[in-house]
Structure 1
Amino acid sequence: MISIIVPIYNVEKYLSRCIDSILKQSFTDLEIILVDDGSTDNCGKICDEYKLIDDRIKVIHKKNGGLSDARNAGIRVAKGKYLMFVDSDDFINDDMCKILLDKMEKYKVDIVSCNFFFNYNNGIRKINNQSIKTVTVLNNLETVKAYFCNYSVDLNVVWNKLYKKELFSKYNIIFPKGYIHEDNFIIYKLYYYAKKICIINDILYFYEQRDNSIVGKISSQNILSQIECIKDHCVFAKEHDDIKKYLNIGVRNLYLNCISIIIKNKKLRYLKSNIKDIEKNIFSKNIFGKNVIFFSLKNLMTYLLIKTNCIFQVKKIQYIFISIIKSLR
């Protein structure tokens, strides 16, 4: 019934915990696809050892191609009616598959999304502040709006969800290679093509917070990936008028997030020409327009600094404005 795809690269410290949590699932009709993405540590050996103890496990050994490439390799061989993604340094609740599948069948939806813990190295766990607090069934347009206008991490990532596999095959959805935050390129498309989506607040996934995580690092690759995501959103918006206004909100938020990161990091200032090019070729004179209510105070101040040409000269003006406005509230 369910194919679980685990992309793996140099995480031998966490891998057994991840696989064990999948093997302990109370729902047992599983296909477990371990994709060893050219690991240089003992991950490949660990995968092969697990394959010998449980015949539900398939192992793919491949040349390193990145997280997206590994996930795509898993999707290509998956036989299940449904798909799940579990990152190899994370782990899941014993009943995650059962609970998600129950909701999938009860509400006759195409995607089920749950809440999760941030799992820290010091043993502390923090519950994600999910924007939707109770069991909720949304249609595709409602979900796209929630994703772009009421941002929360649980709606943004691919790994805390169960999907009908046909969403990927029917609409030729694959993860883009070579980018950070690759989930941002496809998750909104999955929402759009799904007929209905169920969101629950059960905390079923444990998201490991690693100090050396690529996603958590501020880098030029991070910014350039976000710029490519902006372009991807814009292309999709041109082809789908029914969600164009929500996509535009997402594009503007990503753009202002890039600007904010560059403000804080002098080493990234050389990327300002890339950002200016985005503004010149994509945005109209008014970035916010009628959708101003969907933007944070921080992003509003960032935009003001852009229009007054202070954005790359005065790093702390943004925070001064925010402090003044907060004091007046």
Structure 2
Amino acid sequence: MAYEPKDYILSIIIPVFNRENSIAILLERLLKLVPEDIEFVLVNDGSTDSTLDAIKQIVENSKKISQVKIVNHQKNLGVSAARNTGLEQATGYYLGFIDSDDLVTSNYFEVLRPLLLKYEYDIISFNFTYQDKVIKSSNDGSQLEGVFTASHWHLVSRVYKRELFKDKKFEVLRRYEDVILLPYIFINAKKIKHINEVLYHYIQTKQSITQQIKISDIDDLYFALNKALYYIENYANSTESRLFTIYLFKIMMLIRKYIRKINGYYAYNIEYYDMAKRIIGITEKYNNSLGLNIKKLKYAKIDSYISKLKYWLTLKKKGSL
């Protein structure tokens, strides 16, 4: 299948692994909507079903072969590696990301394209739906503090100037790869635009991260925290440090939530207490005025004791003990 390079305003990167049915639905919809100055980079990440055949058939039938680049991994390397391959192959001025299970609205390109053609914004974000709820990617689309406060680090709910990813890659073999990477993309953006309109539908499946919480997820979130702390201590200016204190606190609250889901109560360990202490120090230094509820970190041991007591009392009441 020949690929004809040209100047594209936007490259859409779509990683795919064993999604022969959902990618068919998504791709048929996209190819009906897409203008000529937008390309798709589909990365088949070592699928063992008929995903690759389904992609080729749909593309050939669409008569838009020149706008679709298909890259094939011989074995499954994971979504981060697939997205990194997409970054290497994309040629558009802007980048967008779509997951193979999800859907975009019928006006996705119609709304975005006029803004992209202005070449004015580094990042354009929009609302999305999740579990039948509309979620805003930012509390204030033009301000970084609004983005960090909302803490919705969903890669697919924005389009980005490609040069922002010039020296950036997704962490391979880690989940929450967008949570780990996106804050550093945003702090390098000079102008951000938020569209208060739903353009993306996140489809929750049994494979979704929120449906398959693992102990290793907490390790990946600690990785994100340590990376942010290293950045604050070695590179960040005072404004960036202030923003990253919000990020640190939000990630700690997510870890707290996952610990309870996995154990039934807040079963904190030494790593959590040490991380809480570091984040309290950073917050008091750079962001004490923001009013983050760091009491949950300051009194983590009391939090854990009360939570464990309630948990055991509940089990006793149910007769599980």
Shorter-chain TM-score category?
Answer: 0.7 to 0.9
1:58 corresponds, among 64, 69, 86, to 69
The equivalent residue for 1:15 is 23
Distance 1:264 1:166, change over 3 A: closer
Kindly report which structure 2 residues correspond to 1:71-110, keeping only aligned pairs within 5 A, or say none. 71-106=83-118, 108-110=120-122
CA RMSD for the aligned pairs?
Answer: 2.8
Distance 1:284 1:214, change over 3 A: closer
Give the superposition deviation at 1:111.
Answer: 1.1
2:53 corresponds, among 45, 49, 56, to 45
Q: Which amino acid aligns with 1:151?
A: A
Contact 2:138/2:147 (<8 A) preserved: no
Give the superposition deviation at 1:256.
Answer: 3.3
1:104-128 deviation per Cα after TM superposition (whole angstroms, max 9, x unaligned): 344711111111122x5xxxx3322
Contact 2:139/2:146 (<8 A) preserved: no
Q: Which amino acid aligns with 1:212?
A: Q
Give the superposition deviation at 1:12.
Answer: 2.4
Number of aligned residues: 296
Give the superposition deviation at 1:215.
Answer: 4.2
Query: When the two structures are superposed, what TM-score results if normalisation uses the length of structure 2?
Result: 0.82
Distance 1:26 1:152, change over 3 A: same
2:177 corresponds, among 177, 182, 185, to 182
Q: Which amino acid aligns with 1:303?
A: L
Give the superposition deviation at 1:267.
Answer: 7.9
The equivalent residue for 2:306 is 314
Give the superposition deviation at 1:243.
Answer: 0.8
Separation in 1, partners of 2:284, 2:101: 39
Give the superposition deviation at 1:260.
Answer: 3.5
Distance 1:286 1:237, change over 3 A: closer
Distance 1:108 1:313, change over 3 A: same
1:196 corresponds, among 162, 184, 191, to 191
Separation in 2, partners of 1:126, 1:86: 19
The equivalent residue for 2:315 is none
Give the superposition deviation at 1:287.
Answer: 5.7
Which stretches in structure 1 are left out of the alignment for 5+ residues? 320-329
The equivalent residue for 2:134 is 127
Distance 1:283 1:92, change over 3 A: closer
Contact 2:43/2:85 (<8 A) preserved: yes
The equivalent residue for 2:297 is 303
Is it true that 1:168 corresponds to 2:180 in the alignment? no
Separation in 1, partners of 2:82, 2:137: 28
Distance 1:311 1:103, change over 3 A: same
Separation in 2, partners of 1:102, 1:211: 36
Q: SS of the residue aligned with 2:91?
A: coil
| Sequence identity (%) | 26
Separation in 2, partners of 1:94, 1:311: 47
